[in-house]
Amino acid sequence: MSLIDFLIGRDDLGIHDPHWVRDPDGRFWRLADVRPDEFGLARLSGVYVVWHGGVQPQWLRVGRAQNLALVLTEVRNDGALRAHEDRGGLWVTWSAVRPEFQDGVVSHLMRSLDPLLPDPRASDAAEPIPVIPPGIPPHTAGP
């Protein structure tokens, strides 16, 4: 059994930690600083979360992708999301969740985070797989 199987497995072990990606300083990535092609995200399938920081941070989008580079490029160019940039910046993180578990992870995050601008391809209809969200409340600095 791999580490990912253990973390995002079918066995009900409680809430799983999907190990959200952070920058080298331990903070979450500013969306504007993410270069999907340079990060090797075209070969990575997983789940992503976008939020704005500031005084009243807010979850904006939760989704999944077979090609995180493609989806994060779309997210960077999404005018509805970019409209929140002046509210403390846009932040993003992702996790390499196995494809067969992505719908369940997204379902849990959609229900628990209630993003303002959900990915139209995302759904909360799958059986939720509880995971630890990137931060409660969303934040830009790591603990």
d(CA 105, CA 130): 7
pLDDT tops 80 at residue 43 = yes
Contact yes or no for 7/19 (Cβ under 8 A): yes
Q: Does an H or E element contain 62, and which?
A: strand 58-65
Q: Averaged over 100-114, what is the pLDDT?
A: 95
Write the pLDDT tens digit of every residue in 44-77: 999 999 999 988 899 999 999 999 999 999 999 9
> In the chain, where are the structural domains located?
3-11+20-113
Q: What pLDDT does residue 136 have?
A: 52
Q: Which class does domain 3-11+20-113 fall in?
A: alpha beta
pLDDT at res. 118: 85
Q: How confident is the model at residue 14 (pLDDT cuts 50, 70, 90)?
A: low
